[in-house]
Structure 1
Amino acid sequence: MDNVDLTVIETAEKWRRAGQRVILGTVVRTWGSAPRPVGSMVAVRDDGLIVGSVSGGCIEDDLADRAIRGVLTPDDGLPCVVRYGVDAEEAQRFGLPCGGTLVLVLEPIGARSALADLIAALRQPAPPRTAEEITGVAAVAPLGFRRTLLCRDLDMRTGAVRLRDGTSGAAHHEPDDTVGATDSSTDVDADITAVQPRDFAFDGKTLTTLHGAAYRMVLIGAGEIASHLARMAVPLGYQVIVCEPREQYAGSWEVDGVDLTRAMPDDVVLGMGVDARTAIIALTHDPKLDDLALIDALQSEAFYVGAIGSRGHREQRVARLALFDVSPEQLDTLHSPVGLYLGAQTPAEIAVSILAEVTAYRHNVPVLQSHAIRARAKPERSVSHGPDDKPACGLVPPGDIAQADSL
């Protein structure tokens, strides 16, 4: 769940408490080229006001119109299922490309929706952890770092909601054999249980959504790149943890919504319970901090492990890490130089390149602009010379002197 969806839920609850009728819409199935993925949310007020998005805008317009006319959901006040774009004509009408189709669950929001409890749990701060606390439990227990995950189960037949712990990583619910998957109260196709994300489930009877920062990003070092990276990662749904034992950097850290720990990075990596939804990025240039954490990170289930540094620095780092029982296969997974090759020069641009590559790996998308590919197939270029047969000023592509060699 990203921050956009949290905003939708908070706004829906605010409208409800103000005495207005609110419908929460959730994308539960897509075919073709749908604009938004399953799990996307929109809240519609009875006067047509909308927050969130499930399409490019045309479906939202229709939802708003139906809300104003009072025909968005049945009179019984129960959740219902609606489809948009069943045929090519309707798909074009609602702006769905290539004949795409969306299926939405529309849920009237009330006290039994448990949005207030959900919001309170997600917004509750956790007490800060000291270096001594982390070191003391690192070998025996996983560290939470304020990672609150809750599953919200909506019963389509009653409208009742149950909240439960979601830290197991998958949004699932116990099967109920009393009603078939195609029960007429939901009017859902039997294949609704096709492949779905781990943080979402819908079988026609129960809609389960996972709320909270399902993904974590560990940044080693609290420098300027980390500051930009953390600010961009939080809105994308990451819980960001910054490890910075150095006083000169930790003392000036001022990024809201981020967990800063003064513990040693390797203690944090060992103690936090790294899983397949964790990205770990070393940004200090200091082997005493970066390398020890990378040894543990590369042997963990983290879906992305990166380290700042040039290609020459990578070779030196790989040689050091190989001395600590890190296998060649594990070393091959290290992203260094970190990020996509974008010719990035400023700390903000470098942060963009890092987050772009992390996003690609998070969604299992092939990366075609990596530093490794560039190193293997560097394009030839002609260089003009001045009248004295010396290279003219300004002819070196800025990318060659920025991200490739200065990181």
Structure 2
Amino acid sequence: MTTWRLAGQIDDIRVPLADVQQRAEVCAIATLVEISGSAPRDPGAQMLISADDYWGFLSGGCIEADVARHGREAMAAGAARRLRYGEGSPWIDIKLACGSGITVLVEPVAATDQAVASLLDSHVTRRPVLWQSDGATRNVVAGGDAPAFAWDGAHYARLFEPVPRLVLIGEDGTALAAAAMAVQAGMEAVLITPGGPDQPPFPGIAYHRAAAPEALAAIGIDRWTAIAVLSHDREDDERGLAAALVSDAFHVGAIGARARLEARIAKLRGHGVSEADIARLHAPIGLHGFGKAPRDIALSLVAQVACAFHARSAAERSERLSISSTAPIASVSR
């Protein structure tokens, strides 16, 4: 390795794909479709490959440069190719540290492909969709309760859901640090500061100055959104928290001393919040074992949200048998 592969930490190809599409470039998408034994990534992991760069990783650095080379050759030839690494591979010089075998489908994709446009539109509008492909023809349909990934040996279907979004209500150092960390963690960050400055504190986040209930309504809270109330003793704290608890947010937390919790819960009851919704509240916010400095609290908060998001996703995958290397061909429509 002669340069740092900073793009390797990008796990969602949609952001670089939008940039590649704007430049009207042909690209290639490499999808991990099958594994034999253990592997660093689950089936469905992807890389995006352009003429001069690549994003994502499939096997912890063992094969990515070679996959990128094959991707560019597929782009030049205009035809997909299937690659086998590790066990059962023809390339004995490329070793997998995990000792397993993996299959990667590499497909060239034109910037004008309608499936790409549909995928990127769903990313902006936060709609789950199913990306279906046989390496030559792609299609995007509503995601619904589809498995996260399915492969029948010739076609695959990959579920793309909205990225986790963290809505922060507050204005102090903790709120700002949490917003920055959320962006770094690949989340969408939204800051609500009622009556705050005209401009957001830094780029890369959405910003609302209205009262929390009105701002939450304007944002449109979905089940991929977490909400954290980080303001201190605002008169409308509980109004915002009540609106958060009755929303579709998958996680709601609030900062504050344990000694104030009973009084806060009483106010929530006064706002008509049910006992079931009150039980959803994480307060005090964040994971245990962190310090009390703004960055410590922010780190514990972002870690708690990420943990909750992945725990819920894992539960849904288990219910839907969502991560699998094989599926009936009927599960992949064309």
The verdict on how the C-alpha distance between 1:92 and 1:228 changes in structure 2, with shifts beyond 3 A counting, is: farther
1:348 aligns with 2:295: yes
Secondary structure of the corresponding residue to residue 200 of structure 2:
coil
Paired residues of 1:339 and 1:353 also in contact (CA < 8 A) = yes
Alignment partner, residue 36 of structure 1:
41
Alignment partner, residue 330 of structure 1:
277
Q: Deviations over 1:173-225 (max 9, x none)?
A: xxxxxxxxxxxxxxxxxxxxxx843xx565543544537x4332221123322
1:261 aligns with 2:208: yes
Following superposition, the deviation at residue 321 of structure 1 comes to 1.6
Distance in 2 between residues matched to 1:356 and 1:225, nearest whole Å: 14
TM-score scaled by length of structure 1: 0.61
1:331 maps to a residue whose letter is: I
Following superposition, the deviation at residue 29 of structure 1 comes to 4.4
- Structure number with greater CO (CA < 8 Å, separation at least 6) is 2
1:58 aligns with 2:62: yes
1:313 aligns with 2:291: no
Following superposition, the deviation at residue 350 of structure 1 comes to 1.4
Alignment of 1:4-403 (within 5 A): 5-9=13-17, 17=25, 22-30=27-35, 32-44=37-49, 50-64=54-68, 66=70, 70=73, 77-86=78-87, 94-97=95-98, 99-113=99-113, 117=117, 147-149=125-127, 151=129, 153-156=131-134, 158-159=136-137, 161-162=138-139, 170=143, 196-197=147-148, 204-205=154-155, 207-208=157-158, 210=160, 213-247=162-196, 250-251=197-198, 253-270=200-217, 272-364=219-311
- Backbone CA RMSD of aligned residues: 4.0
Identity, % of aligned positions: 28
Alignment partner, residue 330 of structure 2:
none
2:210 maps to a residue whose letter is: A
1:62 maps to a residue whose letter is: D
- Structure 2: state its 5+ residue gaps: 1-9, 313-334
Following superposition, the deviation at residue 347 of structure 1 comes to 1.4
How many pairs were matched up?
303
The verdict on how the C-alpha distance between 1:251 and 1:14 changes in structure 2, with shifts beyond 3 A counting, is: closer
Paired residues of 1:227 and 1:255 also in contact (CA < 8 A) = no
Distance in 2 between residues matched to 1:243 and 1:91, nearest whole Å: 55
Distance in 2 between residues matched to 1:157 and 1:51, nearest whole Å: 19
Secondary structure of the corresponding residue to residue 245 of structure 1:
coil
The verdict on how the C-alpha distance between 1:57 and 1:153 changes in structure 2, with shifts beyond 3 A counting, is: same
Alignment partner, residue 175 of structure 1:
none
Secondary structure of the corresponding residue to residue 54 of structure 1:
coil
Paired residues of 2:229 and 2:255 also in contact (CA < 8 A) = yes
Distance in 2 between residues matched to 1:330 and 1:342, nearest whole Å: 26
Following superposition, the deviation at residue 356 of structure 1 comes to 0.4
Secondary structure of the corresponding residue to residue 229 of structure 1:
helix
Structure possessing the higher radius of gyration over alpha carbons: 1
Secondary structure of the corresponding residue to residue 9 of structure 1:
helix
2:155 maps to a residue whose letter is: K
Alignment partner, residue 190 of structure 1:
none
Following superposition, the deviation at residue 279 of structure 1 comes to 0.5
Paired residues of 1:307 and 1:334 also in contact (CA < 8 A) = yes
Secondary structure of the corresponding residue to residue 311 of structure 2:
coil
Paired residues of 1:25 and 1:107 also in contact (CA < 8 A) = yes
- Structure 1: state its 5+ residue gaps: 124-145, 173-194, 366-407
TM-score scaled by length of structure 2: 0.72
Paired residues of 2:28 and 2:106 also in contact (CA < 8 A) = yes
Secondary structure of the corresponding residue to residue 355 of structure 1:
helix
1:58 maps to a residue whose letter is: C
Q: Deviations over 1:136-175 (max 9, x none)?
A: xxxxxxxxxx64557474542643x4566x6xxx368xxx
